[in-house]
Amino acid sequence: MAVVEGAGVDRRSLEEVHGSVDVPSELGRRGRFRRLFAFMGPAYLVSVGYMDPGNWATDLEGGARFGYALLWVLLMSNIMAVLLQTLAARLGVVTGHDLAQACRAEYSPRVNRVLWLLAEVAIAATDLAEILGTIIALKLLFGMPLLWGCLVTAFDTFLLLYLQRWGMRKMEAVILVLVATIGGCFLVQVFLARPDMAAMAVGLRPTLPPGSLFVAIGILGATVMPHNLYLHSALVQSRRIGKDEASRRSACKFYLIDSAIALNAAFFVNAAILVVSAATFHSGGMQDVASIEKAYELLPSFLGASAPILFGIALLCAGQSSTLTGTLAGQIVMEGYLHLKIAPWLRRLITRMLALIPAVVVISLTGEESTQELLVLSQVILSLQLSFAVIPLIHFTSNRRNMGVFATPWWGQILAWTVAAIIVALNGYLVVDQIKGWIEAAADSGIHYGPIPLSWLAAIGLIGGAGSVAGLLVWVLIKPLVRPSPAWSPPGRVVIDWDEALRPRPLSRIGVALEHKPGDSEILNRAISLAQADPGRRELVLLHVVDTAMTVVHGALTADLETGADADYLDELVRALHDKGFRARSALLHGTDPAGRLIEHLRNEPVDLLVVGSHGHGLLRDLLYGQTVDRVRHHLEIPMLIARLDRSTPLSGDS
């Protein structure tokens, strides 16, 4: 008997990139710089959430109505963000758990299911804001109708999946380019706007002009994004960090620097939006600018023809960069809370459809002017969920049972809980105010369902839902205090009986899936290598599926030219193998679904091992020809040997 690691593999966050980035260990100044560079990246992916299209409307309105007076709100929000993202990074580095995995370890399955559902709703709301930003940018730059823009955003799913295949460092580089483009566009606009530097300095002093409280709350509520906390706690685990205290302490320090630089860049973008709005619209007497479209229309009269183009490019980059990070956050949440892993394309498509459907329905019914209200709705939903990410994060990083010497010190806990209290109070205020607005709108509509006004039904539903959410929030807050969980266990271990595991298994029948292509030589070579150990007893079963149109009608009775050529091909191979001393026979199958026919045949006539060929993953290849290897692997319990074919081989479906 022996014990080896095994069951805990599904606990690794973002499995495909976990520990994939090497961290150099050189000493000296140059070595420290190289180590810092290796750690730079995760916070840049996180930072795009702080400059997504959902933030633009509040920044534009704040600058247009109150000038530079609310710059201090942006600065305070940025300080809060740096603190919370640093805690998220420390959680991932020290415990090896992302925030979703930590919640799963701490709370009951019932509570975790609700937390997962809330997190999914928040990610869908984030995606809604990104969709709206992208379709507005396409409309502003190219005159594309919003509904056509929705169709374009549905297809960017596949572009982003292609980017994910490049690896973590290249993905981070793409995001950095997008962030730099956003920053560059607004840097030019700030110079064109010629803001009042003295007024900007005064704006960093905390003051609240009359009527600015709600806008200030909106700016703060739109800044800290819940999905970013899940995302950051997982992305930091993409670096290969040692388990000793010194390595973790060094990683925490470098990730703090990474967060400070990246989030200050996000602060610059948000501040630039507010400054441009203040210097153009507020100074020009246009104080009612509260939407992205209106700001775009007015910019040429203040800053010239180039300003709206830069504005639109920055908005498009913001929407696209946020889309990628939202996809990663969705994967982290599902795998962490449910231990459920699905194909990235399916995960992305589900999230995008959940956001696209309400966007398409509302735009179709109420017109293109409804996009601003949808943006507001997305921010309210995010506000409702934020507390469910912040409070557990502070609990987990303050707990010495799991953090050890890296637990947040008392002064840090005071700061963190103060930030949490501000966020909960202000976001709660936003939610309550929005619920009041919806109830009043229902009352103003005058709609009745029998004798019952719509406003009564709206009040019962909204207040009941908000009360249930508030009750859950209270439990999330007090549970780690009144009923603490034991220290989180390391990845599970399994017991293996080596005598059984190392017992030779018979390999008497080897299936060989052929394509009737030049790449068959590689597949046959692998199969012969296995059979030559005992050629007299091991039989090679040559499999090929004829998938011509005639097979739909005639099936196994098909007698067209291609079927005849395939049959001759298999017969020739069988004779050649017999001449070499191998036992071999052929099985010619028919059907327009090669994978399905192969699965059906092998279920009826199983083999001990199946040798197949694959051209490797390719987005266009997979979309056009399907993924036979994956289908066979998932539907059969037969061991498989996959021979990698040369990409120069003519295109065909993997078989």
Mean pLDDT in the chain?
Answer: 77
Calpha distance 14→119 (Å, rounded): 17
pLDDT surpassing 70 at residue 209: yes
Q: Which two tokens stand for residue 598?
A: 């192969």
Calpha distance 582→578 (Å, rounded): 5
Q: Distance from first CA to last CA of the chain, Å, rounded?
A: 39
Share of the chain above pLDDT 90, in %: 7
539 bridge partner residues: 509, 583
Rg (CA), the chain: 30
Q: Which two tokens stand for residue 3?
A: 């014990």
pLDDT surpassing 50 at residue 506: yes
Report in angstroms the alpha-carbon separations of 357 from 67, 128, 265, 352, 354: 37, 9, 33, 9, 6
Lowest mean pLDDT among 119-123, 317-321, 437-441: 317-321
Report in angstroms the alpha-carbon separations of 244 from 20, 73, 95, 241, 405: 19, 39, 12, 9, 12
CA 87 to chain centre: 20
| CA nearest neighbour of 406 among 248, 256, 257 | 248
Calpha distance 311→273 (Å, rounded): 9
Q: Is 172 left (phi over 0), alpha (psi -120 to 50) or beta?
A: alpha
| DSSP category for residue 279 | I
pLDDT surpassing 70 at residue 247: yes
Range ranked top by mean pLDDT from 413-417, 443-447, 466-470, 648-652: 413-417
Q: What is the pLDDT of residue 4?
A: 43
CA 10 to chain centre: 18
Lowest mean pLDDT among 140-154, 198-212, 405-419, 491-505: 491-505
Classify strands 2-5 and 493-496 as parallel, antiparallel or unpaired: antiparallel
Calpha distance 83→50 (Å, rounded): 14
Lowest mean pLDDT among 126-140, 231-245, 291-305, 578-592: 291-305
609 bridge partner residues: 510
pTM: predicted TM-score of the whole model, two decimal places: 0.72
| Confidence category of residue 529, pLDDT binned at 50, 70, 90 | confident
